[in-house]
Structure 1
């Protein structure tokens, strides 16, 4: 994996992490109710679930590569098509009057409870498994050892994920009111959709 490839991956992950999803809502909820320090458990739960899903995606990738000579090419184009599908879906979403809901917190806010809540939110979303399976092949150099490349992708994602969970938790009192209106969330959806489509287009047209 070249530095340029990693930089493109980092930029994509950064933009994806900015868009507030379920984990961002949970992070802000924990930040508001329990504070920044205890939200470390939330970040660790999010990262742990993501690493497990990434490992499962990598295992599926390895199985496909060993099963067919053209498995990588097939997976790369299928993954790009999935990213484009996600992008179009986000671009076509309509603004909701609902906005963010930070009132669903349960429990006393022990680190164990917060870790469990974040882990279950992350691991219970099968779409993330498909997403990692679609994203990883776009950045892997098939001619180089795959283990170090997958480790680099996973560690990069984990650092960005941890950082943004803590950012949302630390700035919850500022971010929550700002994102409470549906038009702001709709803007994030459109931005994310554009990122997915642009990313897929760039990666498919790149050589190597």
Structure 2
């Protein structure tokens, strides 16, 4: 949503692609057995969990420390910042640092895969379906946020949106660290 507000829905395509790319990598890692390995070894899961929480904490603090602008939200000026490469990387890092996705895919795939049939095509269908759904939801959020952007022209409103988003990231980091 933050990328949709700050950069518009078209530039948020990079965010959606970063999110989908990380999900696809986690799916294939899970299918290759990393999900089962992480669920069997608490140490590996814990390290990955703390790395993910640290990254969410970093993003949250970064958003909390944004300064309010006295000139209001100039959408044309803001849309000129944030390269697609940076947006892709940020979304990818948020997605790839979530160890629970590995476990989620490890729990999800066996329910839909017929072990008597070739697994490659089944995995490809599951991955493609998940990628389409994930991409669609990210773009729906970005589009909804883009609609909100004009209403947030007041710098104070945008500043509080960023602070709220930062608080959500910090809360998610805390939940990730405290949950088993």
TM-score normalized by the length of structure 2: 0.57
* Post-superposition offset of 1:109: 1.3
The structure richer in helix per residue is 2
Gaps of 5+ in 2: none
Q: Which runs of 4+ in 1 moved over 2 A?
A: 61-108, 173-207
RMSD across aligned C-alpha pairs, in angstroms? Answer: 8.7
CA distance in 1, matches of 2:22, 2:141: 18
Is the partner of 1:46 in helix, strand or coil? helix
TM-score normalized by the length of structure 1: 0.50
Gaps of 5+ in 1: 1-27
Aligned residue number for residue 53 of structure 1: 26
Residues 75-121 of structure 1: CA distance to partner in whole angstroms, max 9, x if unpaired? 99999999999999999999999999999999931101100000000
Is the partner of 2:77 in helix, strand or coil? coil
* Post-superposition offset of 1:142: 1.2
Q: Is the 8 A contact 2:45 2:99 kept in 1?
A: no
Q: Is the 8 A contact 1:76 1:137 kept in 2?
A: no
Is the partner of 1:97 in helix, strand or coil? coil
C-alpha change, 1:149 and 1:111, in structure 2 (3 Å) is same
CA distance in 2, matches of 1:148, 1:99: 51
Q: Is the 8 A contact 1:75 1:137 kept in 2?
A: no
CA distance in 1, matches of 2:176, 2:5: 39
Residues 5-47 of structure 1: CA distance to partner in whole angstroms, max 9, x if unpaired? xxxxxxxxxxxxxxxxxxxxxxx10000000110000010001
Pairs aligned (count):
180
* Post-superposition offset of 1:143: 1.2
C-alpha change, 1:70 and 1:117, in structure 2 (3 Å) is closer
Alignment equivalent of 2:84, drawn from 87, 100, 111: 111
Q: Is the 8 A contact 1:49 1:123 kept in 2?
A: yes
C-alpha change, 1:81 and 1:47, in structure 2 (3 Å) is closer
